[in-house]
C-alpha cells in the first residue's frame, strides 16, 4: 500500500495568503537550501537545494521556518537532529530520496524494498513534518518487523536512525525481539555481522544505557523459541559468553569496521 506524502499538494485557492506566498516564490524563482544541524557537534551539513515553491506545496509551514542567509544569498531551512555522525548514511540519503519524489510532483511515498529502506523514508517524513504520512508508514513498519526477519542492513539503519531520539528505546526493543524471535543470531553469517555491529555500537553508549540494553537483551533471550534443528549452537554460545565483554569494554571508534562488516 502506498501512502501519500501530504494533503497540501494542491495549489492553494486564489486570494488566500498561502496562494500569495506560493506566487511570490514562483515569480522570484527562489531556491531553498536544506541543511542538517547536529546538536551534539554544533555543526551544520548541507543536504540539497530545491525550488521553494515545490517544498511549499507539500509543507506550507516552511514559510515560517526558513531564514535568509546574507552570506550565500539564499533562503535556508535548518533541520535539527541529535547528531550528524551518521547523516551521510541516514538523514541525507533519506531526505534526498523524498526530494526526488517531490521533484516528480508525485504525492506518493516512494516504495521500499526492505525494512532498512522504509526506515530511511520514515525518518525523512519525520524531519519534513509530513506527520500523517510518517504515522502511516510507522504502523506499516512495526507490522513488517513483527513478521519478517531483520537483516544486518535493517538493524544498522534502525539503530542509527533513532539514536538520540525519544523513540530509540522502542525501536531497540523491536530489533532485539525480532532477532531472538527468528533465531537470527544463530545464523553463521547474518547473525555474526549483527552481533559485531551491536557489540561495537553498545561500547559507545553510556554505562546506564549499556545496562538497559543488557536487560532488554536478557529479557528477549529468555523468551526466545527453541532453536530449529541444525542451528549452530556455537554461534549462540558465543553471543551469550561475549555479552559481559560487550557491555564493559571501553568506548572506541569503530565506524570503519562497521562499514566493512555491513558492506
Contact 56, 63 (CB under 8 A): yes
Q: Which range of residues forms the domain containing residue 94?
A: 17-134
The pLDDT, as a whole number, for residue 232 is 44
> What are the C-alpha distances in Å from 116 to residues 99, 102, 103, 121, 217?
18, 21, 23, 9, 21
Judge whether 108 lies within some domain. yes
Q: Is residue 183 part of a domain?
A: yes
Please state, in angstroms and rounded to a whole number, the distance separating the CA atoms of residues 203 and 212: 13
103 C-beta neighbours (distance < 10 Å), count:
11
CA 97 to chain centre: 13
Question: Which three-class secondary structure state does DSSP give residue 68?
Answer: strand
Terminal CA-CA length for the chain: 30
CA distance linking residue 9 with residue 16, whole number of Å:
15
pLDDT tens across the length of the chain (263 residues): 455 555 444 555 666 767 777 778 777 788 899 999 999 999 999 999 988 887 777 777 777 788 998 988 888 999 999 999 999 999 999 999 988 888 776 567 778 889 999 999 999 999 998 888 899 999 999 999 999 999 999 999 999 999 999 999 999 999 999 999 999 998 888 999 999 999 999 999 999 999 999 999 999 988 877 655 554 443 333 334 344 333 333 333 334 444 444 44
Per-residue pLDDT at 227: 57
Burial class (CB in 10 A: 0-12, 13-18, 19+), 134: buried
Helix (H/G/I), strand (E/B), else coil: 67: strand
Residue 171 and residue 218 in one domain: yes
Does residue 139 fall inside a structural domain?
no
The confidence score (pLDDT) of residue 36 equals 96
Number of domains in the chain: 2
Q: Which of 134, 167, 188 is the endpoint of a domain?
A: 134
> What's the longest Cα–Cα distance across the chain?
71
Q: Decide if 179 is inside a domain.
A: yes
CB 184 within 8 A of CB 194: yes
**pLDDT at residue 4, as a whole number:** 56
Amino acid at each position: 500500500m502506498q501512502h501519500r506524502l501530504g494533503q497540501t499538494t494542491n495549489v492553494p485557492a486564489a486570494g488566500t495568503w498561502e496562494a500569495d506566498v506560493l506566487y511570490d516564490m514562483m515569480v522570484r524563482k527562489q531556491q531553498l537550501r536544506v541543511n542538517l544541524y547536529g546538536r551534539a557537534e554544533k555543526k551544520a551539513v548541507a543536504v540539497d537545494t530545491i525550488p521553494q515553491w515545490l517544498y511549499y506545496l507539500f509543507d506550507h509551514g516552511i514559510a515560517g521556518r526558513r531564514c535568509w542567509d546574507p552570506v550565500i544569498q539564499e533562503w535556508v531551512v535548518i533541520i535539527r537532529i541529535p547528531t550528524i555522525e551518521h547523516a551521510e548514511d541516514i538523514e541525507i540519503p533519506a531526505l534526498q530520496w523524498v526530494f526526488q519524489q517531490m521533484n516528480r510532483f508525485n504525492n506518493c511515498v516512494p516504495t521500499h524494498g526492505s525494512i532498512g529502506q522504509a526506515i530511511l523514508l520514515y525518518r525523512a517524513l519525520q524531519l519534513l513534518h509530513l506527520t500523517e504520512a510518517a504515522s502511516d508508514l510507522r504502523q506499516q513498519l512495526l507490522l513488517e518487523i513483527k513478521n519478517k526477519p531483520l537483516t544486518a542492513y535493517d538493524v544498522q539503519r534502525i539503530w542509527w536512525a533513532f539514536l538520540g531520539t525519544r523513540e530509540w528505546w522502542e525501536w531497540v526493543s523491536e530489533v532485539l525481539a525480532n532477532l531472538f524471535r527468528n533465531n537470527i543470531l544463530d545464523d553463521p553469517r547474518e547473525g555474526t555481522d549483527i552481533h559485531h555491529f551491536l557489540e561495537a555500537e553498545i561500547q559507545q553508549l553510556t554505562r546506564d544505557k549499556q545496562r538497559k540494553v543488557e536487560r532488554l537483551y536478557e529479557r528477549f533471550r529468555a523468551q526466545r523459541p527453541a532453536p530449529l534443528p541444525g542451528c549452530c549452537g556455537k554461534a549462540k554460545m558465543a553471543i551469550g559468553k561475549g555479552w559481559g565483554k560487550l557491555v564493559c569494554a571501553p568506548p572506541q571508534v569503530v565506524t570503519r569496521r562497521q562499514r566493512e562488516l555491513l558492506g
